[in-house]
A and B are shown apart, each in its own frame.
Chain A
């Protein structure tokens, strides 16, 4: 995982994601999910490129299933964008990096 990519947990999700001043991009993933590994490098790149503008992080659905359930996640990877504590945008599947950056641009 990239140095600028944060790891979210059930314990700190509300504080680090919902109460964040910056928009937050959350990549819902799991170890067994091939497409999640496909997009991992793109997520890390986005974290570097949008440093200081957007908080970028990952949530392991296997270890923190309650958060995935709260947002009705039924496919991974799912990328959700949170703004002011609300999930405002969503991408599902191994999407190209351009789609991820477009989602961020829409939120800024």
Chain B
């Protein structure tokens, strides 16, 4: 039984082209690949549900999983909840999400034809989003908290050479300005990280590219996690701190985070779970 959760297909649904997955010599789109994965799982009897798990109880067996007010019992559970986009955590951000604030440049760039936007972040994905947005926006400003970027050299060069992109160094977004009833976002308040000085910055859109956090809120206090919230798995196995609970993919991997490494660890988790069930019998 597969609970597909809030974002069926996960982060790969936001990936235009997967170039490094073996078996696809010409690349494959993320959504297409996830559809193939789903079909393959269904062929082997997986029951896939568009439901979101809201509560789990791993304190005794059978384990209990609650989704849409219904409780399912299971002898073993594989956690593969992945990761999702990190947000700034501002009240004004929650309020204006979708009304000028976006976490998906490929989805929403279209709405910013000849507009001014900012991209918050300093990694490769922030550079990629900024570059992509110049196809639509008249001006793209990258806001980065430090005085140098984390992004790879090649991505940095591409951005430095793009006449439509500015970089605002040593700055953080302190507040988003605007009203959902009145056209949405109109600007932000930027704060200089060295002087503490704040200023109003007019823009039509904010794209957040702040990296990812593991989706483990649901499992807090049930399985062991590291200080960054990733589930800890034992050695090269998928075993978590609870016997019978396994984890695979980005939810336990802060390092590689590739479709192929996630799929590999998923296979390991399935084998570990199978062994576990055999040993119970």
Contacts and interface: CB of A to CB of B under 8 A. Distances in A.
A36 B12 CA distance: 13
23 contacts: A32-B107, A34-B13, A34-B14, A34-B15, A34-B30, A34-B104, A35-B7, A35-B13, A36-B107, A37-B13, A38-B13, A62-B110, A73-B111, A74-B98, A74-B100, A74-B108, A74-B111, A75-B101, A75-B102, A78-B98, A94-B7, A97-B51, A97-B52
Contacts of A42: 8, 50
A92 B12 CA distance: 19
B255 to A, nearest CB: 24
Contacts of B30: 34
B9 A38 contact: yes
Interface in B31-66: 31, 50-52
Contacts, number: 84
Interface string A1-33: 000000000000000000000000000001011
Given A74-B100, A98-B52, A98-B68, A35 B14 contact: yes
A94 B205 CA distance: 19
B50 A37 contact: no
Interface of B: 5-9, 12-15, 30-31, 50-52, 68, 97-102, 104, 106-108, 110-111, 183-184, 205
B115 to A, nearest CB: 10
B107 A96 contact: no
B13 A75 contact: no
Nearest to A92: B98
A62 to B, nearest CB: 7
Contacts of B51: 96-98
Interface string A27-53: 000101111111101100100000000
B195 to A, nearest CB: 32
Identify the interface centre among B99, B107, B184: most chain A CB within 10 Å of its CB: B107
Across the A-B interface, give the 7 residue pairs with the lowest CB-CB distance, nearest first: A92-B98, A34-B13, A75-B98, A96-B52, A33-B107, A34-B14, A96-B6
